[in-house]
Amino acid sequence: MTRASTARRLAAAAAYGGGGVGLAGAGVLGLLRLEARAARRRVEARTSKQDPPSGDGVYGRGRGKPLVFTVLGDSSAVGLGVERATETPGVLLAAALAELAERPVRLIRLAVSGAESCELDPQVERALAKHPDVVLIMIGANDVTTRTRPAVSVRHLADAVRRLRESGAQVVVGTCPDLGTIRPIGQPLRLLARRWSRQMAAAQTIAVVEAGGRTVSLGSVLGPSFAQDRSLFSVDEFHPSAAGYAQAAAVILPALADALGVWPAPTGRRRQRRGTVRPVARAAARAAGRPGTEVRATEVRGSVEGPLGTWARLLRRRPTELPTPEEAGEAAEAVEIPVG
């Protein structure tokens, strides 16, 4: 079975609430539990108990009302694993958005380390009170490690996206990263973690696109390159380092900027490649295994629905060069604003 057909099968299973849980027989289950406990102890022993500074404030110079950018999700959205606010994904993206939009951007980080999808509701409530223009959600890894069924996880995520979209905010979701690259996880658990991660990412994409948002695949971004370059991990070997967060932010930025209408138009005439528009389940399956793939709803002959469900477009933009954390700190003028 090819990788693409496997991903399609996982996406279809996730869409209908199945798949994934019964991958291991009873004889292997005990070994998996032992490996999981050992990996968790090793990671928790090295993980910082304190989140990095939020970096909340207004970034960029210029006139006009600042764009409001809120960041929701788990420790990956918090930036756990780094020490400075300028190394977190929220600050990196806020500074870059301010440059692209040529107007100030107000960053409000509401993400909570350890959060699962079922815990998004209070974050959404706080975000709605801030009237965001664009929202980034990064979540899913904790749902995988707790073996929450994808159908349960994505229902909470879809509700969050739907509420935010109804308020007028644009929503971008960075899908579940590839947990199969985590060094403390041994085999065969590592193989299963990769499969479960892709299943979750595919299910997230289906749910988010149908709720009116767009997704960016982080599985491959935090996958092969992370497996080969250990400097992209922080000391706990689970969360990204400053360089790792910068790489993830560079992949997310085009989708955020495009959602706001500030991503530069491509130069010259670029024809869309055939096969970039697909039913959402197939698009989700494709995106789960391809780095930095963006998926959003689209129309075909004036209709958003086809015989196999919502139409979706896959985009793979070339990541832009983000400023380094040091450059972001020097170039972006941050003014602390209480977020309540």
- Annotated catalytic residues are 75, 236, 239
Q: How far apart are CA 146 and CA 134, in angstroms?
A: 29
CB 205 within 8 A of CB 233: no
Evaluate whether 60 touches 330 at the Cβ level (below 8 Å). Answer: no
Locus of tokens 């279809």: 12
Amino acid at 50: Q
Task: Count the neighbouring beta carbons within 10 Å of the beta carbon of residue 147.
Answer: 10
d(CA 35, CA 184): 9
- Measured CA to CA, the distance from residue 275 to residue 316 in angstroms comes to 13
- Provide the angle, in degrees to the nearest 10, between the axes of the packed helices 150-166 and 189-210: 30
β-pairing, 214-216 vs 294-297, is antiparallel
Quick check: helix, strand or coil at residue 178? coil
Q: Is 309 helix (H, G, I), strand (E, B) or coil?
A: strand
- How far apart CA 261 and CA 142 sit, in angstroms, is 32
Cα-based distances in Å from 29 to 21, 67, 84, 218, 313: 11, 49, 40, 28, 39
Q: How far is residue 249's CA from residue 82's CA, in Å, rounded to a whole number? A: 14
Strands 170-174 and 214-216: parallel
Name residues whose C-beta falls within 8 Å of residue 283's C-beta, 6 or more positions apart in sequence: 205, 209, 295, 312, 313, 314
d(CA 193, CA 314): 25
